[in-house]
Amino acid sequence: MKDGFIKVAACTPNVRVADCEYNAEEIIRMAQDAGTHGAKVIVMPELCITSYTCGDLFWQELLLEEAKKQLLHIAEETAKLDAVLFVGLPLEYKGKLYNTAAGICRGEILGFVPKIHLPNYNEFYEARYFTSGAEVDGFVLLKNGSGEEMEVPISSNLLFTCTAMPDLKIAAEICEDLWVPNPPSVAHAYHGATLIVNLSASDEVVGKDSYRRSLVSSQSARLLCGYLYATAGEGESTQDVVYGGHNLIAENGTILAESSRFVNGITCADLDIRRLANERRRMTTCLFSSDREEGEKEPFYSEVFFDLSVEETKLTRKFDSRPFVPGVKEERDRRCDEILNIQAMGLKKRLAHIHCQNAVIGLSGGLDSTLALLVTVRAFDLLGMDRKKITAVTMPCFGTTDRTYHNACMLSERLGTTLKEVNIREAVNIHFRDIEHDPEKHDVTYENGQARERTQILMDIANQSGGIVIGTGDLSELALGWATYNGDHMSMYAVNCSVPKTLVRHLVQYYADTCGDGQLSEVLLDILDTPVSPELLPPKDGVISQKTEDLVGPYELHDFFLYYMLRWTFPPKKIYRMAQIAFEGEYDNATILKWMKTFYRRFFQQQFKRSCLPDGPKVGSVAVSPRGDLRMPSDACAKHWLDQVETLDGNHES
């Protein structure tokens, strides 16, 4: 359960109708199998001890007594299992019969949760046999094999809380309880449950699997919870219907695992309970709490506690190494088109609001300035303005290569914008002379002097034309502070400010694929093939000598760190563990750790640059605007984060 991960299992055992002894042995066997897979929460189907399709046999005293006997047997046989197990059985309480979920851990029966909503339309007419448990709140008296009596709570308002992981609070509901307009799981989540388990017996008809999948997924998203759905399968009576064993595991709207239908078995997945708890803290409009508030109306929730060992969950869950980029091309194309529209609409509003007819962009022949120009062209088209009023300024200097220079010129030409060339070599050399800097000393002054000269030129050309300077810097550069303060750091509207570098490439690729201009596509593809570089140091033999990722690290790693730090607020040790899985075969552990140190150091040190950013459109869930997204003090200390990074072992295998 390290880092908030916990393995869970939804199981469909083989059953025989009304054969409690056989069913109990299958439940025990499957629970132990799930335990060998590392599962800490195991859920079986509705009424699995008796089977769901017993019909009028549910009125038989012998069946009910045998069900209780086998429940105690299951508890005894799973006493050494390091997991909490939920099984279904019919239970008599105060003269009424209830369809219940029993929670079991380390040989102890923790509690019973009765079903609330009973269908009266299915083939077994469930309301014929059972009573709704909506008002039930008390204790069931059981006797174990030694004749010892024990009181076990029964209530639809029970929370099963793990002492070793307090964020893990489990609530149970049964089949139909999920399908009603206001499911009990809503109240469960409100009172603090981070995981909902559903013991179900959902029959199969055409199209029902899609509806079931959508229902489980949307409920987990609505409640910011994990949802573990186990349903009856082969072995139930097929007198009128068939049961498919369609098990589902969801987390916050995402289906993590799903079983094949019509095959009984175990479905496992790794839930991230800490991630759910973190998200709930961030969502101030969602009132999730396990504490009863003053004046709160009934029902009042009771907690029962269980204990599990604290150990590292062996993860089988996969993590996307490019979390900002959809993996499926169709979805990626839709996302790219949407982002380009958001960027263009933001700029369109700014241009219209200030009655601006002109825009100025520093065009380097690199990815970021290319994307900024494409967005600006789209905004001008939306406004019905002449593209010639976009001035693309190329400013060659000491590090400019023929490749990037020609690409910049060709790009401007194919897009129909006005190209202006200002060679800044002489101006920069004069500046170096004025400040007494040796031009042979290729230090930060040498580099930033060029960047600030370019910004000055852009601003002044914008003044000449009555236009605004369009910023080109992206989210990844802002996160790392990879920008010259008051150089490329500054503009009058920054269209790329919330687009990470890994996504910039795909936006340009999408434009190249869809522009319908062969020559424009050709130049865009060459820009994509050009190494990322600020081109501030002289080239070697006409080739770029300064490659950004050699200096600051691979952007795919930094984007991964950024996403999970800001979006999910994960600590370094957890992000490192996830990165080992995501980048397996791409980067070794030592490399991941090396650049993680760089990321945290630069992220904290460079906040002062982000505290005074120009306006720009937010396109995703991660952004660093000081006005709406990242209210971080410029002088925050990185000690705790860097200390944790130092404790990580670059040779450790997850």
Q: Give the helix ranges, DSSP H, for 303-401.
A: 329-353, 367-383
Place of tokens 């109708």: 17
Angle between helices 572-582 and 555-562 (to 10 degrees): 130
Q: What is the DSSP string of 182-198?
A: S-HHHHHHHTT-SEEEE
228 in helix, strand or coil?
Answer: strand
List the Cα angle 574/575/577 in 5-degree steps: 65
H or E element, residue 270: strand 266-272
| Annotation says 497 is catalytic | no
Query: Which tokens belong to 476?
Result: 């990844």
d(CA 193, CA 252): 13
d(CA 435, CA 446): 11
Residue of 11, 175, 225, 356 marked active site: 175
CB 322 within 8 A of CB 502: yes
| Annotation says 115 is catalytic | yes
Give the sheet arrangement for strand 418-421, strand by strand: 418-421, 390-394, 359-362, 468-471, 493-494
Give the sheet arrangement for strand 158-162, strand by strand: 254-258, 248-251, 226-231, 195-200, 169-174, 158-162, 302-306
The one-letter amino acid at 563: Y
Q: 188, 180, 46, 55: which is closest to 119 by C-alpha?
A: 180
Q: How far is CA 166 from CA 310, 348, 453, in A?
A: 12, 49, 56
d(CA 359, CA 409): 17
Place of tokens 């209830």: 98
Q: How many CB atoms lie within 10 A of CB 534?
A: 23
Q: How far apart are the first and last CA of the chain?
A: 14
Query: Which tokens belong to 464?
Result: 């000449």
Residue of 7, 40, 68, 115 marked active site: 115
List the Cα angle 641/642/643 in 5-degree steps: 90
Residue of 7, 26, 46, 48 marked active site: 46
Residue 130 φ/ψ, nearest 5 degrees: -110, 160
d(CA 283, CA 300): 23
| Annotation says 573 is catalytic | no
175 — alpha (psi -120 to 50), left (phi > 0) or beta?
left
CB 105 within 8 A of CB 306: yes
d(CA 493, CA 613): 9
Residues with catalytic annotation?
Answer: 46, 115, 175
